[in-house]
Amino acid sequence: MIRAIVAASLGLAAALGLTLAIVPAASGAPSNTYTVTRTVGPYRGDAKLGEAGSVPDGEAVTIGCRTDRYPFGDNILEGTATINRKTTYGTTSREVLTLNVIGTGYDSDTGRLYWGAYVNATGRKGWNSVTLTITCYRG
């Protein structure tokens, strides 16, 4: 019964193009997970497209795990995107950005898995940056 459920789940995941990461139970063995962090920006909340500090137009900011494993690299277990109100431009400002999280996807141009979010400006004055953090699994 359990084998049938696992086989059906794996078949459905393959049909949908999804990647399943199976993490072994903790038994004192070394961890096969690691964290990757990337900070992008700073972006200006009132910048028009093409002006200094404008957010990427139509392109999500992304992050990925190590890609040296065949065929797609390590698996992405979870991710977060956080708006940083204090930037390299000095004082802390209110949040002048919003995020639309994509989650995990596959980029057919580069052949890699990614985790990402779209960054949007609110039109309010101030500077924010965005930090993406993912937990990866060495399979």
pLDDT over 70, % of the chain: 72
Q: Return the domain boundaries, the chain.
A: 27-137
The pTM score is: 0.70
Q: For 35-78, what is each residue's pLDDT tens digit?
A: 999 999 999 999 998 898 999 888 899 998 887 766 656 888 99
Return d(Cα 125, Cα 44) in angstroms, integer.
7
Those residues with Cβ within 8 angstroms of residue 116's Cβ, 6 or more apart along the chain or in another chain:
60, 61, 62, 63, 101, 102, 103, 105, 132
Those residues with Cβ within 8 angstroms of residue 139's Cβ, 6 or more apart along the chain or in another chain:
21, 22, 32, 69, 74, 75
